[in-house]
DNA sequence: GTCTATAGAAAGATAGAC
DNA sequence: GTCTATCTTTCTATAGAC
C-alpha cells in the first residue's frame, strides 16, 4: 500500500472522504469502503468479488465479514453515505444563493462537479441502486426524494419570482438532474476538463435552460 | 408463452424489433435476444444467469449455446444492434430536417423518445458497455463515435448559420446527449409521460439550450 | 436443434485457531 | 480482529443421446 504504486490513489481518497464524513468509523472500515467503492465503480456490484474487495483493502477474504455482514451491506453503507453527502452539497448550495438563478447555477454546477470529483461514489449512487435489498432501497429512496424536492423547489421559486420561464416543471427538473447525474457515466479522471470546469459549463447551461427572455 | 401472461410483453416487443431490424435471424434467436435484453436491462449483465435467459426464452440451459457462443456474445449482439438502430434513428432525423434548429430538435427529441421506447436496449447500450470483451468494445465504440459526430455536426452547423450561440461545443454536445441518454436510467413503462411527450420536452429544451437570443 | 446430465470453476459466507 | 481452511451453492459451458 505504498504511495508510489499510484493504483490506489482513488481508493485512498474515498477512504479519506469516508473518514471525514461525519459518521465516525475506524481506519479499517474506511479502507474497506474505499476498496469496495473503487471495485463497484469499476466493475459493478455483481462483477466484484468479496475476495477482490478484501485484497484491495489488504485483508484476507474473511476479513470483510468482521466489519460488514454481507457484500450488500457494504454497498448499502456506500450508497447511504454517498446519497447523504450529495444531498448535503445540494442543500448547502441552495441555501447559500441569493436568487433562484444563483441557486440553480450552483445547484446544477455543484452537483455536476460532485459527480465528476466523486465519480466512483456517483456511479454507485446512480447505477447500483437496484442491487440494494428492498429495506435498504427504501432508506435510500428517502434521500433521493429530498434531492428531487430541492431541485423542484428552486425551479418553482424562479417561476414565482418571474426569473424563470418553464413549460413543464417536472420534466425540466428531471432534465436538469440528468445533466448532472450523467456526468458519472462519462467522466474519467483522464479527460481534459476538470470537475470545476464541468460544473461551470453545466451550471451555465442549466440557467440558460430556464431563464425568461 | 401465452399472450395472456403479460410478463413477456416487452420481451416479445424486443424480439419483434430484432426480427424486423435488417440483419435476418431465426425466430429462436430473436426470442433469445428478447429474453436476454429483458433480463440484462432488469438485473444487469452479471446478475443475469444463462439459465434465466434460457428459461425466459422457453429453452433448456444448454439451448442458448446452439445460437450464441457465450453470454458475452449475446450481450454483444444486443449492444451492436442497439447502437446501430440508435445511430440510424439519429442520422435519419438529422437528414430530414431543413434547419439546424429543426435538426437539433428532432435529434435530441428522437433520441430521448428512443431511450424511453426501447429502454431495455437503451440501458444495455449505455450501461453494459464495460462488460463487452475488448474486441467487441472496439466494434461498438466505432458506432458511438458516429453518434457523437452527428450531434457535434448539427451543433457546428447551427453556430455557422448563426442560429446557435454556443460557448463550449464539446461540453454542450455532451450535455445534449446526457439529456437523452439519462432517460434510459429513469424511464419506466409505469410513468405517466409517454415516450413522445418526453421527446417533445427534451427536444424543446435542447433548442432552448443553444438558440441565440 | 433440443434435450438431460454434469464437469469444472468460482462465488459468498462461516468455523475455529491464534 | 485477523488469519487459514473450507463448506455450500451457483454459475458458465460442454458431452453425448435423440
B115 CA to C6 C1', in Å? Answer: 42
Q: What residues of B are in contact with residue A130 (Cβ under 8 Å)?
A: 43-44
- For the segment B136-146, the average pLDDT, to the nearest whole number, is 98
In angstroms, the CA A119 to CA A190 distance is 12
Does B6 score more than 70 pLDDT?
A: no
A137 CA to D5 C1', in Å? Answer: 35
In angstroms, the CA B16 to CA A173 distance is 34
pLDDT at res. B5: 46
- Tell me whether residues A205 and B175 touch, CB distance under 8 A: yes
pLDDT at res. B87: 97
pLDDT at res. A76: 98
Q: Where are the domains of chain A?
A: 9-65, 71-210
Q: pLDDT band for A1, please (50, 70, 90 cuts).
A: very low
pLDDT at res. A7: 53
Does B13 score more than 80 pLDDT?
A: yes
Protein CB footprint (7 Å) on chain C nucleotides? 1-6, 10-16
- For the segment B138-155, the average pLDDT, to the nearest whole number, is 97
Of residues B18 and A176, more confidence is placed in A176
Across chain B, mean pLDDT equals 94
- Measured CB to CB, residues of chain B less than 8 Å from chain A are 43-47, 126-127, 130-131, 167-168, 171-172, 174-175, 177-179, 181-183, 185-186, 193, 197-198, 201-202, 204-205, 208-209, 213
Does A67 score more than 70 pLDDT?
A: yes
pLDDT at res. A48: 98
- For the segment A176-188, the average pLDDT, to the nearest whole number, is 98
Does B183 score more than 90 pLDDT?
A: yes
Does A4 score more than 90 pLDDT?
A: no
Q: Which residue is nearest to nucleotide D11 (CA to C1')?
A: B49
> Which nucleotide in the DNA or RNA is closest to residue B58, CA to C1'?
C2
Of residues A10 and A175, more confidence is placed in A175
Answer whether any strand C atom is within 7 A of the Cβ of A202.
no
Pick from A44, A126, A197: CB nearest B44: A44
In angstroms, the CA B159 to CA B169 distance is 9
* The three cell numbers locating residue B209: 439550450
Does B3 score more than 50 pLDDT?
A: no
- For the segment B3-32, the average pLDDT, to the nearest whole number, is 78
Pick from A47, A182, A213: CB nearest B182: A182
How many CB atoms are located within 10 Å of the residue B144 CB? Answer: 16
Q: Are A122 and A115 in contact (CB under 8 A)?
A: yes
Exposed/middle/buried for residue B212 (C-beta within 10 Å: 0-12, 13-18, 19+)? exposed
At the topology level, CATH places domain A71-210 in Tetracycline Repressor; domain 2 (1.10.357)
pLDDT at res. A19: 79
A144 CA to C9 C1', in Å? Answer: 40
Q: List strand D contacts in B 38-77 (CB < 7 A).
A: 48-51, 61-62, 65, 69-72
* The three cell numbers locating residue B187: 424511464
The DSSP result for chain A, as a single string, is --TTS-TTHHHHHHHHHHHTSSS---HHHHHHHHHHHHHHHHH-TTT--HHHHHHHTT--GGGHHHH-SSHHHHHHHHHHHHHHHHHHHHHHHHHH-SSHHHHHHHHHHHHHHHHHHTHHHHHHHHHSGGGS-HHHHHHHHHHHHHHHHHHHHHHHHHHHHTSB--S-HHHHHHHHHHHHHTHHHH--TTSSS-HHHHHHHHHHHHHHHHB--
Answer whether any strand D atom is within 7 A of the Cβ of A119.
no
- Tell me whether residues B175 and A208 touch, CB distance under 8 A: no
Collapsing DSSP to helix, strand or coil, B164 comes out as: strand
How many CB atoms are located within 10 Å of the residue A83 CB? Answer: 23
pLDDT above 90 coverage of chain A, percent: 88
- For the segment B172-186, the average pLDDT, to the nearest whole number, is 98
> Which nucleotide in the DNA or RNA is closest to residue A67, CA to C1'?
D1
Q: What is the largest CA-CA distance in chain A?
A: 62
- Tell me whether residues A171 and B193 touch, CB distance under 8 A: yes
Does B191 score more than 90 pLDDT?
A: yes
Exposed/middle/buried for residue A47 (C-beta within 10 Å: 0-12, 13-18, 19+)? middle
Q: pLDDT band for A2, please (50, 70, 90 cuts).
A: very low
pLDDT at res. B7: 53
- For the segment A70-85, the average pLDDT, to the nearest whole number, is 98
| Tens digits of residue pLDDT in B39-96 | 999 999 999 999 999 999 999 999 999 999 999 999 999 999 999 999 999 999 999 9
Pick the CATH number of B9-65 from 3.30.1330, 1.20.1270, 1.10.10, 1.10.3470: 1.10.10
| Tens digits of residue pLDDT in A96-129 | 999 999 999 999 999 999 999 999 999 999 999 9
Q: pLDDT band for A8, please (50, 70, 90 cuts).
A: low
Report the sign of the C-alpha dihedral through residues B108, B113, B119, B125, in that order.
Answer: negative
Does B10 score more than 50 pLDDT?
A: yes
Answer whether any strand C atom is within 7 A of the Cβ of A112.
no
Answer whether any strand D atom is within 7 A of the Cβ of A61.
yes
* The three cell numbers locating residue B172: 454542450
Answer whether any strand C atom is within 7 A of the Cβ of A133.
no
Does A87 score more than 60 pLDDT?
A: yes
Q: What residues of B are in contact with residue A174 (Cβ under 8 Å)?
A: 186
Does B210 score more than 80 pLDDT?
A: yes
Amino acid at each position: 500500500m505504498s504511495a508510489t504504486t499510484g493504483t490506489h490513489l482513488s481508493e485512498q481518497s474515498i477512504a479519506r472522504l469516508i473518514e471525514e464524513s461525519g459518521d465516525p468509523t475506524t481506519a479499517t472500515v474506511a479502507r474497506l469502503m474505499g476498496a469496495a467503492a473503487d471495485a463497484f465503480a469499476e466493475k459493478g456490484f455483481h462483477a466484484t468479488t468479496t475476495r477482490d474487495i478484501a485484497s484491495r483493502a489488504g485483508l484476507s477474504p474473511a476479513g470483510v465479514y468482521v466489519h460488514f455482514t454481507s457484500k450488500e451491506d457494504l454497498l448499502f453503507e456506500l450508497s447511504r453515505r454517498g446519497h447523504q453527502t450529495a444531498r448535503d452539497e445540494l442543500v448547502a448550495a441552495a441555501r447559500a444563493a441569493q436568487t433562484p438563478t444563483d441557486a440553480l447555477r450552483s445547484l446544477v454546477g455543484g452537483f455536476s462537479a460532485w459527480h465528476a470529483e466523486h465519480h466512483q461514489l456517483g456511479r454507485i449512487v446512480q447505477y447500483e441502486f437496484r442491487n440494494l435489498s428492498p429495506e435498504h432501497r427504501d432508506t435510500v429512496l428517502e434521500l433521493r426524494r429530498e434531492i428531487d424536492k430541492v431541485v423542484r423547489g428552486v425551479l418553482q421559486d424562479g417561476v414565482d419570482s418571474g426569473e424563470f420561464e418553464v413549460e413543464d416543471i417536472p420534466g425540466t427538473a428531471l432534465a436538469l438532474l440528468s445533466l448532472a447525474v450523467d456526468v458519472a457515466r462519462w467522466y474519467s479522471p483522464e479527460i481534459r476538463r476538470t470537475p470545476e470546469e464541468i460544473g461551470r459549463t453545466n451550471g451555465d447551461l442549466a440557467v440558460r435552460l430556464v431563464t425568461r427572455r
